[in-house]
C-alpha cells in the first residue's frame, strides 16, 4: 500500500494494525494535510449487513466533535476497500507512555479528566465506545489526550475474528456484562475507563490471566488488589471513585460521566494544591489574567479560481475585524496573516510563527451563486480540533460568514464578553466586492514611499465604487500620513489624512484603526491632549488591542514619558510581535540608549529603508562609524531626495568631515517644511552635530512648539552635545521640560495605571 494513491489520499506509511483493520498515515492531496486512514477487515467489506452497520456507527462517531476525541473526516469506498479517514494524531499511546515510566498523580488526574470529558460528550450524543483501553488513547507531546476508534467495537461484534485479533489486551478491559455477551450501554465505558484509571495509578491491570478464560473469570468474580493500591499513598477519595467505576453491577457504578467529573473536581479541590502562577504572554492587569491568542488564516480556494482568490483573505480579514473588539482574546491582525495567503502551513507552524494558542483555518468553494465554507478551530501547539463547521450561504451574502464564524469562536473558546463588545462587533460590510478587492490589494502593499503611493491609488479606486466602508477610509488616512512624512509631501498630506480618519469614524465611531490613526496624527502635529483622548478611547474599547498600546506608546514618546512609552510598547509587542506598523516603537528604546533592542524592533520591517537607516544610526550612536556608513550607503540611493536620504546623508557627511555637504542636505530637508514635530527635532540635532547653532535653534523651537517635548532624550541625546549648554538652547529645553511635566500630571490623572513613579 505504501506509495499508492486511493481517491485523493496518498499512502505514506503504516501506523498500526489490530482486530478492526490496518491504519496508515496518508496525505490528503486535496486539502493538503496529513490524515490517518483505517482500512476495514475484509469481513466487514464483503458482508452487506456489516457494511450497513459500520456506516451507521461511523456516521454517529463522525458527528462527535470534541477536543478529546479523534475526529472522523469521511467514510469512503474504493477498489473494493472500505475505509475511514480520520484526524492524524501525533503522539504516543497511553499504554506505551505508561510502559516507559510511571505516571505522576498530577498527570493521572489530568488524563482522567480529559478521558471523562471526551466520553461524556460521546454519551451525550448516544454513542458508546465499547472498547476503551489504554492502547486506544493517544497522548500528544503537549499532554492532550485523544480517544480513538469510536463505535468500531460494535461493528466487530458477531464477526468471525481470529484469535490474534481477539487479544487478551482487549479482554482485560471488558466489563462483566460485556464478558458475558450481554447487551451493553454507556456504563460499560465507565467500567473500561475504571480499568484504565487503575492501570495509570498502579502501573498494572486490575484483572490478569494467562488465558482469556482465566481473565474473564477474574473480571466476573474477583476484586483488584485494593490494599496494594492504598499502600502507595493514593487518596482514599480517589480509590473510592475507582471502586465505584469498577462495580460488578452496572446499576452500582457511576451512571454517567458527569458524575465522575464532579467527583474528580471535588477530589482535586480537597487534595491538590493550587499550582504556582507562571507569567505568560497575554497577561493583563494586576490579576495577571491569561488571554488566549488567535490567528485566522486565509481560507483556501478548492478550485484555485483566480477570479475568487481575494475571497479567502477577505473572509479572514472580516472575521479578524469582528473579533478584534473582544477583550478576552488576542486576535492577530490581517497584516500578520497576509503572508499565508499563498502558502500551505500547518497549525503548529503558524502558531509558533504568530505566537498564538488557536488557529482558525479552512477552505471555501464557490459554485454558481453559493459559497460553501468549511472552517475549523484548532489548538495551535497540539493541532487538536476544538470544532469544525460546514457553512453555506449565497455569494451575495458571503460576508455574513464573519458573524457565523465569530459566534462559533466565542462558543468554542467560551469567551466572556459584554453587551458593548457585542455591539462593536456589528461592523459595516463592504457593499461592492470589487471595491473590497481594491482595499485588500492596498493593504498588501509594503510600507515604503512607493508602496504608500500605490496603496493610495488603489484605495481611491475602492472609494469610487463604495464610499461607505470605514476601513478603506482609515487605511487611506494611514497611507496619506505615512506618505506625507517620508515622501516629504508636507501639510496637505496630513490634512487629507485627517479628513480620511474623520470620515471613517463618521461611518463607524468605534473603528480602532481610525482612532489609532487620529491619535498618531494628532501626536505628530502637537494636538497632544486630543491624541491622548483618542488613545484612551482605544484602551477603553479594548485594553488588549495591540494598536491601542502602540498609539499610546507613540504619544508618550513625544511627550517624554519614555519609561511609560516602553511599557506600552512592550505591551503592544506582546500582543502582536510581528506587525511592521509598530517599527517606530524602536525609537523609544533608541531614545533610552537601548540600541540593541531598538535594532531588534526596527527589524520587524526588515529590509525597509527605515530599518536600514536607523540600524546604521544605532551603530553611529554606539561609536561604530564604519558600520554606520555601510548602512547609510545602502539607504541614500533608495531615497536620495526623501526623508531618510536627506537625514542620514547629512549624518554621514558629518561623520566623514564633509560639513558643507551635510549642511546643504540638512537645509534641503528643513525647507521641505515637515509637519511632524519629531522630524523637526531630528533636524535640530542634525544641525547640532554639524555645528550650526542657528539651524539647531530654529528646528528645536519648531519641534517643541509643534508637540515634541521629549525632555529626557533631549538631555541625553549625544547629537545635541555641541549646544545643550547654550543659553538660547537652554531656554527651549526648559520649555520642553515644562510641557513634559504638565502632560505627565494630566496623564497621571487620566490614566494613572500607566505611570511608573
> DSSP secondary-structure letter at 505?
H
**Residue 300 phi/psi, 5° resolution?**
-85, 145
Segment 648-669 shows an average pLDDT of 96
105's grid cell: 498523580
CATH of domain 5-271: 1.10.510.10
Tell me the domain boundaries of the chain. Answer: 5-271, 283-427
CA distance 691 to 279: 49
pLDDT for position 635: 93
Region for residue 572 given its phi and psi (left: phi exceeds 0; alpha: psi -120 to 50; beta: otherwise): alpha
pLDDT of residue 756: 65
pTM across the whole model: 0.55
Residue 30 is predicted with a pLDDT of 81
Q: What is the CATH number of domain 283-427?
A: 3.40.50.10070
First-to-last alpha carbon distance for the chain, in angstroms, is: 69
pLDDT at 121: 86
Reported as a single tens digit per residue, the pLDDT across 560-617 is 999 999 999 888 887 777 777 788 888 999 999 888 888 888 888 777 888 899 999 9
Asked whether 445 and 455 are in contact (CB, 8 A), the reply is yes
CA-wise closest residue to 672 among 524, 486, 518: 486
Is beta strand 293-296 parallel, antiparallel or unpaired with respect to 330-331?
parallel
| DSSP, residue by residue, 115-139 | HHHHHHHHHHTT---S---GGGEEE
Cα distances (Å, whole numbers) of residue 535 to 178, 530, 582, 587: 66, 9, 15, 19
Please name the residues in contact with 372: beta carbons below 8 A apart, sequence gap of 6 or more: 364, 365, 366, 390, 391, 392
**What is the C-alpha to C-alpha distance for residues 78 and 525, in angstroms, rounded to an integer?**
69
Which burial class, exposed, middle or buried, applies to 417 when counting CB atoms under 10 A from its CB (0-12, 13-18, 19+)? Answer: middle
The rounded distance, in Å, linking the Cα atoms of 250 and 248 is 7
3-state secondary structure 536-564: HHHHHHCCCCHHHHHHHHHHHHHHCCHHH
Edge-to-edge strand list for the sheet holding 33-39: 5-6, 9-18, 21-28, 33-39, 81-87, 72-78
Contact 24, 14 (CB under 8 A): yes
pLDDT of res. 164 = 36
Q: Take residue 313 and report the three cell numbers written for it.
A: 483573505
Answer whether residue 412 shows pLDDT above 90.
no
Of the candidates 150, 196, 171, the one whose C-alpha atom is nearest the C-alpha of residue 20 is 150
Contacts of 510 (CB under 8 A, 6+ apart): 325, 424, 541
Instruction: Kindly compute the dihedral angle of the four CA atoms of residues 56, 61, 63, 68, in this order, to the nearest 10 degrees.
Output: 180
330 forms beta bridges with: 293
Cα–Cα dist 690/143, whole Å: 62
Q: Distance between alpha carbon 59 and the CA centroid of its chain, in Å? A: 32
pLDDT of residue 677: 92
Closest CA relative to residue 264, chosen from 106, 94, 70: 106
pLDDT for residue 152 is more than 70 = no
Which residues touch 633 (CB under 8 Å, ≥6 apart)?
652
Question: What confidence score (pLDDT) does residue 19 get?
Answer: 57
Angle, CA of 258, 263 and 267, to the nearest 5°: 150
Banded model confidence at residue 429, pLDDT cuts 50, 70, 90: low
- pLDDT for residue 582: 83
pLDDT digits (tens, 9 = 90+) for 162-185: 333 344 457 899 999 988 888 888
- Distance from C-alpha of 697 to C-alpha of 469, rounded to nearest angstrom: 45
Bridge partners of 9, per DSSP, are: 6, 28
CA dihedral sign of residues 114, 120, 121, 122: positive
Query: Which of 356, 360, 353, 355 has the alpha carbon at shortest distance from 317?
Result: 360
pLDDT tens by residue, 467-526: 998 989 999 999 998 887 766 666 788 899 999 999 999 999 888 889 999 999 999 889
Query: Do residues 177 and 167 touch, judged by C-beta distance below 8 A?
Result: no
Distant-in-sequence, close-in-space partners of 414: CB < 8 Å, separation ≥ 6: none
Q: What is the mean pLDDT of residues 707-736?
A: 95
Find the helix or strand (DSSP H, E) in which 460 lies: helix 449-465
Question: What does the pLDDT look like over 507-516, one tens digit per residue?
Answer: 998 888 899 9
List, as one string, the DSSP characters of 286-354. TTTEE--EEEEPPPEETT--GGGHHHHHHHHHHHHHHHTT-TTSEE--HHHHGGGTT----HHHHHHHH
* pLDDT (mean) for 377-388: 83
For position 425, what pLDDT does the model report? 62
pLDDT of residue 156: 43
Mean pLDDT (the chain) is 83
Amino acid at each position: 500500500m505504501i506509495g499508492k494513491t486511493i481517491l485523493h489520499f496518498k499512502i505514506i506509511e503504516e501506523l498500526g494494525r489490530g482486530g478492526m483493520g490496518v491504519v496508515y498515515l496518508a496525505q490528503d492531496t486535496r486539502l493538503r494535510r496529513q490524515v490517518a486512514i483505517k482500512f476495514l477487515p475484509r469481513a466487514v467489506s464483503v458482508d452487506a449487513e456489516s457494511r450497513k452497520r459500520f456506516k451507521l456507527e461511523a456516521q454517529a462517531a463522525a458527528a462527535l466533535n470534541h477536543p478529546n476525541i479523534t475526529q472522523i473526516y469521511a467514510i469512503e469506498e474504493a477498489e473494493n476497500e472500505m475505509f475511514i479517514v480520520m484526524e492524524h494524531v501525533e503522539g504516543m499511546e497511553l499504554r506505551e507512555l505508561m510502559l516507559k515510566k510511571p505516571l505522576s498523580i498530577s498527570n493521572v488526574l489530568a488524563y482522567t479528566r480529559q478521558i471523562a470529558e471526551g466520553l461524556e460528550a460521546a454519551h451525550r450524543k448516544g454513542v458508546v465506545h465499547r472498547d476503551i483501553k489504554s492502547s486506544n488513547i493517544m497522548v500528544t507531546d503537549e499532554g492532550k489526550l485523544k480517544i480513538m476508534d469510536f463505535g468500531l467495537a460494535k461493528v466487530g461484534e458477531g464477526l468471525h475474528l481470529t484469535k490474534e485479533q481477539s487479544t487478551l489486551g482487549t479482554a482485560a478491559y471488558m466489563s462483566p456484562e460485556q464478558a458475558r455477551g450481554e447487551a451493553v450501554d454507556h456504563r460499560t465505558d465507565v467500567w473500561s475507563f475504571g480499568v484504565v484509571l487503575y492501570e495509570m495509578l498502579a502501573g498494572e491491570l486490575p484483572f490478569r490471566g494467562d488465558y482469556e478464560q482465566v481473565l474473564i473469570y477474574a473480571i466476573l468474580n474477583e476484586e483488584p488488589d485494593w490494599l496494594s493500591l492504598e499502600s502507595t499513598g493514593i487518596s482514599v477519595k480517589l480509590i473510592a471513585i475507582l471502586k465505584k467505576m469498577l462495580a460488578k453491577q452496572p446499576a452500582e457504578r457511576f451512571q454517567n460521566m458527569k458524575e465522575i467529573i464532579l467527583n474528580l473536581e471535588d477530589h482535586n479541590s480537597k487534595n491538590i494544591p493550587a499550582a504556582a502562577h507562571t507569567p505568560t504572554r497575554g497577561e493583563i492587569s494586576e490579576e495577571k489574567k491569561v488571554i488566549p491568542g488567535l490567528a485566522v488564516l486565509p481560507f483556501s480556494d478548492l478550485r484555485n479560481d483566480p477570479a475568487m482568490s481575494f475571497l479567502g483573505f477577505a473572509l479572514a480579514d472580516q472575521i479578524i475585524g469582528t473579533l478584534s473588539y473582544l477583550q478576552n482574546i488576542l486576535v492577530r491582525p490581517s497584516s500578520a496573516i497576509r503572508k499565508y495567503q499563498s502558502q500551505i502551513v500547518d497549525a503548529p507552524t503558524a502558531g509558533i510563527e504568530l505566537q498564538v494558542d488557536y488557529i482558525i483555518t479552512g477552505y471555501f468553494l464557490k459554485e454558481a451563486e453559493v459559497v460553501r465554507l468549511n472552517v475549523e478551530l484548532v489548538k495551535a501547539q497540539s493541532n487538536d480540533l476544538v470544532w469544525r463547521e460546514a457553512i453555506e450561504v449565497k455569494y451575495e451574502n458571503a460576508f455574513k460568514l464573519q458573524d457565523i464564524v465569530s459566534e462559533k469562536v466565542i462558543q468554542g473558546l467560551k469567551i466572556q464578553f459584554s453587551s458593548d463588545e457585542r455591539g462593536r462587533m456589528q461592523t459595516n460590510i463592504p457593499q461592492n466586492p470589487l471595491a473590497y478587492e481594491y482595499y485588500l490589494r492596498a493593504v498588501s502593499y509594503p510600507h515604503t514611499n512607493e508602496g504608500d503611493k500605490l496603496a493610495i491609488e488603489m484605495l481611491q479606486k475602492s472609494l469610487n465604487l463604495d464610499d461607505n466602508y470605514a476601513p478603506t477610509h482609515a487605511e487611506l488616512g494611514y497611507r496619506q500620513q505615512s506618505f506625507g512624512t517620508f515622501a516629504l509631501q508636507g501639510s496637505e498630506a496630513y490634512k487629507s489624512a485627517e479628513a480620511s480618519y474623520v470620515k471613517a469614524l463618521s461611518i463607524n465611531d468605534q473603528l480602532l484603526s481610525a482612532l489609532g490613526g487620529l491619535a498618531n496624527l494628532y501626536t505628530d502635529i502637537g494636538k497632544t491632549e486630543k491624541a491622548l483622548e483618542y488613545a484612551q478611547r482605544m484602551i477603553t474599547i479594548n485594553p488588549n488591542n495591540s494598536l491601542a498600546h502602540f498609539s499610546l506608546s507613540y504619544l508618550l514618546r513625544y511627550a517624554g514619558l519614555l519609561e511609560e512609552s516602553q511599557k506600552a510598547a512592550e505591551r503592544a509587542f506582546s500582543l502582536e510581535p510581528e506587525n511592521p506598523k509598530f517599527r517606530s516603537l524602536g525609537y523609544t528604546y533608541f531614545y533610552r540608549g537601548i540600541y540593541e533592542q531598538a535594532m531588534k524592533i526596527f527589524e520587524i520591517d526588515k529590509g525597509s529603508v527605515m530599518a536600514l537607516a536607523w540600524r546604521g544610526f544605532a551603530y553611529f550612536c554606539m561609536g561604530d562609524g564604519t558600520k554606520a556608513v555601510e548602512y547609510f550607503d545602502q539607504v541614500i540611493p533608495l531615497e536620495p531626495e526623501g526623508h531618510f536620504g536627506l537625514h542620514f546623508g547629512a549624518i554621514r557627511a558629518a561623520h566623514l568631515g564633509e560639513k558643507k555637504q551635510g549642511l546643504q542636505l540638512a537645509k534641503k530637508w528643513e525647507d521641505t517644511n515637515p509637519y511632524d514635530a519629531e522630524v523637526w527635532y531630528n533636524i535640530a540635532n542634525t544641525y547640532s552635530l554639524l555645528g550650526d547653532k542657528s539651524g539647531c535653534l530654529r528646528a528645536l523651537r519648531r519641534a517643541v512648539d509643534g508637540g515634541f517635548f521629549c525632555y529626557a532624550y533631549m538631555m541625553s541625546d549625544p547629537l545635541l552635545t555641541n549646544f545643550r549648554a547654550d543659553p538660547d538652547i537652554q531656554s527651549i529645553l526648559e520649555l520642553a521640560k515644562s510641557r513634559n511635566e504638565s502632560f505627565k500630571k494630566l496623564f497621571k490623572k487620566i490614566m494613572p495605571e500607566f505611570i511608573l513613579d
